[in-house]
Amino acid sequence: MSYHHHNTLVPISRLPDSLLTDIFILVRDIEPPDSSSPPCLHVSHVCRAWRNAAVHCSLLWTNILFRPPEWTTVMLHRARTAPLTVQVTISSRDFANGAFLDSLRLAFSHIRHIRYLSISLSTAFSHLDDLLSPLKSNPPDILEELQLSCLHGRPIHFSPPFKIAPNLRRSELIRCHTDWKLFYSIGNLTSLVLGDIPVSSRPSIDDILSVLQSMNRLEKLVLIHALPELPPSVRTLPPPQDIVPVRLEYLLHFSLWGFVLDCADIMRYFVMPRCRQVYLETEARWPLREVALAVSPFSSIISSIFNESNEQEMHVGSIEQLYDNEIIIKLFPASSSSVGAGYTIHASLTWRPSHRRDIMDTSPGFGSLLSALPLSQITQFCATLDSKEDEHIDNAEWLRVVRRLSHVKTVRLSGGYTYGFVNAFHEAHVSLLPPSNGLYTAVLPDLVSLTIEHAHFSFPLGDNQLFSTLTRSLTLRQQLELPVTKIDLVCCHITPQQLATLNCLTPNFVEPIGEPETWGVGELDDESSDEDDDGD
């Protein structure tokens, strides 16, 4: 029996061509677009029936490839008039490859059939305007997404064809010199990403707000080092301008990267009632309190999101300081099932440490930023200070946070933030005496688990000692008839006497795990010392 007749008897050969090509397209989409052996060529070499089906399926050949350049002609011919995807990375070696550049020009000449266009340059390319001339001479009628980036070398000059691209919905420009006025004609844009824009090409705040005001369908806005910069000598936030805030009604994702004062300057003019994901990455030029200046406008943005939302979602909230010059505040859905619907807030504030190693006093500020989050919706709260300096959130701010964690079930404290939180935890209980009849004023009424990591229970000396403060808090919870939480200790310094006292106040046996490590806080415990007796 010949191979041809054998193949006709194989069950898959009995499938209609339409179903067979659907399978081919699914396989193609799984493979990376620059595969050295793309699926569309694989399936066309299996047998005669598969080849006929593949060659006549235009959609199978729409992800145009350029290596080797001969494939470009073949794929463009077989794609016919189907919408094309052109995604290419151009390296410095390609600049001298005439056949490769010819294949690019051939693909760009089909601009009226390109739906997705992505060009990534490893370095600046002087002939880019010539290469992209079809975008200006022929209207990109069906172009929906345009990405252009230059990874290294001098930024590239590019004038996007926004005026003649009526269906453009998503645009991403990285390291590009461009004319900001061209953006006024793309009111239908749903996603705008600008990254590493040369300072000389960055728009003014007025231009940004005016353009965004016209983008009434924008769902995603990313500005990475794309804001106008205040002079380096300016160390305080300028007075607000007489500008009407921009209400981004449909914005769901907002990312902002830049210097603290530049970000704070523009954030106070944004209102984003439906935003679900907010990312802020800022850096301070000076080791001064300017870091806290970004807190107020960022808090206002977060408040504007939650004030207009009636949803009661459960979240995880955290504050982390893993380095002496960086603080990160996060809010994200408590379960993976709600990722699509839940809010995600990420605020990273960094500052350049001084040569004198001054302590960076960022309060007041971060307690206010924490309070801007929907703390009453949080079920898991984490606070981490991996620093040898004292914490920079004062007790009053911690107290506001503790009182608003009305539905939290688990608290995880690590390092320096443990002491301030536990002090506020105790003060909040003291304020409830004599006992109240309702639980609406109770302190963490749903708390079932408290985990403490990298803390020293004999530190600091005096009335605020961690051990004595925590034991007094647990005693008050018993008096107030509030649930007494389970306690887990990880890598903590605690004496056997202190541990025995805690075990008398908790429903579960407290068993420390890990070697004691307090990240520079306090001194090593001496098990034979009587420090803990003083704390009682």
64-90: average pLDDT: 89
A 10 A CB-CB count for 50 gives: 20
| CA 108/CA 420 separation, integer angstroms | 61
Distances (CA, A) of 128 to 121, 139, 215, 256, 444: 10, 18, 28, 29, 61
By the 8 A CB rule, do 370 and 328 touch? Answer: no
Among 129-138, 283-292, 418-427, 442-451, whose mean pLDDT is lowest?
A: 283-292
Query: In whole numbers, what is the pLDDT of the chain averaged over residues?
Result: 81
pLDDT tens digits for range 35-68 = 556 767 777 767 777 777 777 788 888 888 888 8
Three-class SS state of 415: strand
Taking every pair of Cα atoms in the chain, the longest distance, rounded to a whole number of angstroms, is: 95
pLDDT of residue 162: 67
Candidate CATH numbers 1.10.3470, 3.80.10, 1.10.10, 3.40.50; the one for domain 65-229: 3.80.10
* Domains in the chain: boundaries: 1-61, 65-229
Kindly tell me if the per-residue pLDDT of 340 is higher than 90.
Answer: no
234-238: average pLDDT: 80
pLDDT of residue 32: 63
Q: DSSP code of 484?
A: P
Q: Which two tokens stand for residue 418?
A: 């443990």
Kindly tell me if the per-residue pLDDT of 33 is higher than 80.
Answer: no
pLDDT of residue 176: 87
| CA 365/CA 3 separation, integer angstroms | 76
pLDDT tens digits for range 171-228 = 999 998 887 777 777 778 999 999 999 888 888 888 888 889 888 899 999 999 999 9
Gyration radius from the chain CA atoms: 30
pTM for this entry: 0.82
Q: Where are the beta strands (DSSP E) in 391-521?
A: 410-415, 449-453, 486-490
